[in-house]
Chains A and B, each alone.
Chain A
Amino acid sequence: MDTLLHLLLLLVILLNFFLLGSSRLASCIRTTAFQGGILSLLPLLAHGFSGHTLFLASVAFLLKGIAIPYLLFRAIRQVHIRREVEPLIGYVPTLILGTLATAGAFIFSGRLPLIPEHSQSLFVPVGLATLATGFLMLISRRKAITQALGYLIFENGIFIFGMLLTEAMPLMVESGVLLDLLVGVFVMTILMHQINREFSTMNTDNLTSLKE
């Protein structure tokens, strides 16, 4: 059980790298969905089967693995874009930054005063690394849709962190977070649609310039 958990968490990191290096939107969305699917398995593996974890896993799977990717796919179909053309920071530099951040996360979490049962687990470093990946995506990409993906990955990082305290965290808080996420993506797809209609492009840069 534990080795499987470790392998899944490492897979999450590899998917992070892939997301930072890939320019195709469709494969980015698919990868994020896959990452979400993996994350939804974590509560079951980390805390065993119970009503609480089953509920959390199924809701996370439905939202992260199916509903949100579906919404995003619909959005890119409507606005007819297939790849991020020119990111603010290139793909290779973001990849290098992402790796450095991941390395930093591993070193940093090694120094944190964690309670003994968490000191060896990969949850903390992987959670931090995923957070950093989400941040990088948010900063470095121009398109609204890749920024939405960055936000999603960011939330995935928080989810991994939350795994540490599923026992203690009440159900309401978790469902609240997931609901927030869904609403956030809803809002973003609508926003994307609007940006596209106004400027006939998806670049968020246009939002910074004033209109007459």
Chain B
Amino acid sequence: MRITILQLFLHLLLLFGLSPLLSGVIGKTKALFAGRVGPPFLQLYFDIWKLFGKGLVISRTTTWIFRAGPVVGLAVPVLAALLIPFGPVGAPISFSGDLIFFVYLFGLSRFFTACAALDTGSSFEGMGAVREVTFSCLAEPTVFFVFIVLARLSGSFSLDAMFGPTLAASWHTAAPSLLLILVCLFIVTLVENCRIPFDDPNTHLELTMIHEVMVLDHSGPDLGMILYGAAMKFLVLGALVVRLFLPVTTGNIALDILLFIGGLLFMAVVIGVIESVMARLRLLRIPQLLVGVSLLSFFSLILLLR
């Protein structure tokens, strides 16, 4: 029982402490590529701190849904993080079939974010909500195919076991399938976290933004919660990618956790490099690419079942 509490503590510490740092690493990498100094690594911590100290402006046309969006957006990644192992630290909560719960937790948060955007009555925010929902509905099959492949390999329906110790052995038997789903999961991470080439988190151009447009009306602590929630979501999905990429365990828990953190930072650097060398895709090309990725993950399943 004590181990479970320790696990829970470690999980939440990693989640709350580390998540804003990743965005700082991405920012620094991009700045390095552009020849700038860039914002400090801890910029997002400062931003969130500042926003939580600010006042709140709420439009008169909105209802309670508008306030619920950010709260759900913050609560969902915390819940989802408890279902997955962070590197060597096993998941605190785990039951058979939690992979479906995991996927639809994010569906819930998306639903509330989109509803909060629609609640403002701004057609502009409605457009963003439409785009967000379209893209994530195209990305969802990929997640399921990835999970089915892992479930098949591990013979279990809980995320803790799927990303557990059997993963290292699976790399020897089914390397091609795992390589394909690693790529697929990485692309899903990019889509879900609104990174280039799917969405540009820095843009404020009305025709191109997707996620950013939905949160335009939020201010103060609400915006802080959204930013914190987005950072955590990035960490949660990133943790799956890192675990898939680095399934090794050395046995020494401190070393393993350092390895996991190193993997996450490395992934942030990779994303920073991708964002520096690639342009945003045209909006019409995105669904095409997402369908392609779903088909790729489907193919990796076929490869495994053969």
Tell me whether B299 and A92 are in contact (CB under 8 A).
Answer: no
Check if A34 is an interface residue, CB within 8 A of chain B: no
Tell me whether A99 and B295 are in contact (CB under 8 A).
Answer: yes
Q: Which of A48-56, A102-110, A166-174, A201-209 touches B?
A: A102-110
Tell me whether B302 and A17 are in contact (CB under 8 A).
Answer: no
Tell me whether B296 and A17 are in contact (CB under 8 A).
Answer: yes
Bound CA span A75–B55, Å = 65
Bound CA span A106–B306, Å = 7
Check if B169 is an interface residue, CB within 8 A of chain A: no
Tell me whether B306 and A99 are in contact (CB under 8 A).
Answer: no
Nearest residue (CB) in A for B176 is A10
Q: Which of B138-176 contact A (CB under 8 A)?
A: 175-176
Bound CA span A107–B175, Å = 20
Check if B288 is an interface residue, CB within 8 A of chain A: yes
Check if B298 is an interface residue, CB within 8 A of chain A: yes
Nearest residue (CB) in B for A10 is B176
**B-side interface residues, number (CB < 8 Å):** 13
Nearest residue (CB) in A for B177 is A10
Q: Which of B287-306 contact A (CB under 8 A)?
A: 287-288, 291-292, 295-296, 298-299, 302-303, 306
Check if A179 is an interface residue, CB within 8 A of chain B: no
Q: A99 and B299 in contact (CB under 8 A), knowing A21-B292, A92-B288, A106-B306? A: yes
Q: How far is the CB of B182 from chain A (nearest CB, A)?
A: 14
Tell me whether B176 and A91 are in contact (CB under 8 A).
Answer: no
Check if A6 is an interface residue, CB within 8 A of chain B: yes
Tell me whether B299 and A103 are in contact (CB under 8 A).
Answer: yes
Q: Mark A79-95, 1 if CB is under 8 A from B, else 0.
A: 00000000000011001
Tell me whether B292 and A95 are in contact (CB under 8 A).
Answer: yes
Bound CA span A6–B302, Å = 15
Check if A39 is an interface residue, CB within 8 A of chain B: no
Which residues of B lie under 8 Å from residue A14 when comparing CB positions?
296
Q: How many contacts between A and B, using CB within 8 angstroms?
A: 37
Bound CA span A103–B175, Å = 19
Nearest residue (CB) in A for B296 is A17
Q: A13 and B295 in contact (CB under 8 A), knowing A21-B288, A91-B288? A: no
Q: A17 and B295 in contact (CB under 8 A), knowing A7-B176, A91-B288, A92-B288? A: yes
Q: Which of B189-207 contact A (CB under 8 A)?
A: none
Tell me whether B306 and A96 are in contact (CB under 8 A).
Answer: no
What DSSP secondary structure best describes chain B's contact surface?
helix
Nearest residue (CB) in A for B302 is A103
Which residues of A lie under 8 Å from residue B291 when comparing CB positions?
92, 95-96
Bound CA span A91–B288, Å = 8
Bound CA span A103–B303, Å = 8
Q: Mark A138-175, 1 if CB is under 8 A from B, else 0.
A: 00000000000000000000000000000000000000
Q: How far is the CB of A23 from chain B (nearest CB, A)?
A: 9
Which residues of A lie under 8 Å from residue B306 when comparing CB positions?
106, 110, 125
Nearest residue (CB) in A for B289 is A21
Tell me whether B295 and A106 are in contact (CB under 8 A).
Answer: no
Bound CA span A103–B176, Å = 15
Q: A13 and B292 in contact (CB under 8 A), knowing A7-B176, A110-B306? A: no
Tell me whether A17 and B303 are in contact (CB under 8 A).
Answer: no
Tell me whether A95 and B299 are in contact (CB under 8 A).
Answer: no
Q: Mark B215-246, 1 if CB is under 8 A from A, else 0.
A: 00000000000000000000000000000000
Nearest residue (CB) in B for A18 is B292
Tell me whether A96 and B176 are in contact (CB under 8 A).
Answer: no
Tell me whether B176 and A106 are in contact (CB under 8 A).
Answer: no
Bound CA span A171–B203, Å = 60
Which residues of A lie under 8 Å from residue B288 when comparing CB positions?
21, 91-92, 95
Which residues of B lie under 8 Å from residue A10 when comparing CB positions?
176, 303
Bound CA span A106–B301, Å = 11
Q: How far is the CB of A99 from chain B (nearest CB, A)?
A: 4
Q: A103 and B298 in contact (CB under 8 A), knowing A6-B176, A10-B176? A: yes
Q: How far is the CB of B207 from chain A (nearest CB, A)?
A: 22
Cβ contacts A to B, 28 pairs, < 8 Å: A6-B176, A10-B176, A10-B303, A13-B299, A14-B296, A17-B292, A17-B295, A17-B296, A17-B299, A92-B287, A92-B291, A95-B288, A95-B291, A95-B292, A95-B295, A96-B291, A96-B295, A99-B295, A99-B299, A102-B302, A103-B299, A103-B302, A106-B302, A106-B303, A106-B306, A107-B302, A110-B306, A125-B306
Of all A-B residue pairs in the complex, the 3 with the closest CB atoms, nearest first, are A99-B295, A103-B302, A92-B291
Residues of A that sit less than 8 Å from B by CB = 3, 6-7, 10, 13-14, 17, 21, 91-92, 95-96, 99, 102-103, 106-107, 110, 125
